[in-house]
């Protein structure tokens, strides 16, 4: 059997979170392009991440400024012993506070 192409190790939720940790002022359009999903999907993911307490935003003029909460535990039982901060640090380096 041939392996399927196009799959990744991390979910779109993780991709959005990591991208916002790297650039907290990223516009939704740019975020969607970076992750490879629609703006509508990005908005829903941001809603999910905020509801989980992993992400918050505040207005900065006409834009949003996002803040990743690194102390939140990851959701799946396999990785629940790790935090959002651990994930971000593993991918992009230390999480900005």
Determine, yes or no, domain membership for 1. Answer: no
Task: Quote the pLDDT of residue 81.
Answer: 97
Looking up residue 45, the CATH number of its domain turns out to be 1.10.10.10
Task: Quote the pLDDT of residue 95.
Answer: 74
Q: Distance (Å, rounded) from C-alpha 8 to C-alpha 56?
A: 26
Determine, yes or no, domain membership for 4. Answer: no
Q: Distance (Å, rounded) from C-alpha 21 to C-alpha 86?
A: 12
Determine, yes or no, domain membership for 5. Answer: no
Determine, yes or no, domain membership for 85. Answer: yes
Determine, yes or no, domain membership for 97. Answer: no
Is residue 37 within 8 Å of 48, Cβ to Cβ?
no
Give the single-character DSSP code of 23. Answer: -
- pTM beyond cutoff 0.95: no
45, 83, 86, 81: which is closest to 66 by C-alpha? 45
Query: 12-22 vs 84-92: helix axis angle to the nearest 10?
Result: 70
Question: pLDDT per residue over 18-56, tens digit each?
Answer: 999 999 999 999 999 999 999 999 999 999 999 999 999
Number of separate domains in the chain: 1
Question: pLDDT per residue over 50-85, tens digit each?
Answer: 999 999 999 999 999 999 999 999 999 999 999 999
Task: Quote the pLDDT of residue 97.
Answer: 62
Determine, yes or no, domain membership for 7. Answer: no
């Amino acid at each position: 059997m041939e392996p399927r192409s196009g799959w990744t190790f991390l979910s779109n939720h993780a991709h959005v979170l990591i991208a916002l940790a790297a650039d907290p002022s990223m516009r939704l359009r740019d975020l969607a392009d970076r992750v490879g999903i629609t703006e509508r999907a990005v908005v829903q993911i941001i809603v999910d991440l905020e509801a989980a307490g992993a992400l918050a935003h505040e207005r900065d003029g006409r834009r949003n400024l996002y803040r990743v909460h690194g102390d939140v535990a990851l959701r799946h039982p396999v990785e629940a012993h790790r935090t959002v901060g651990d994930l971000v640090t593993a991918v992009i380096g230390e999480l900005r506070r």
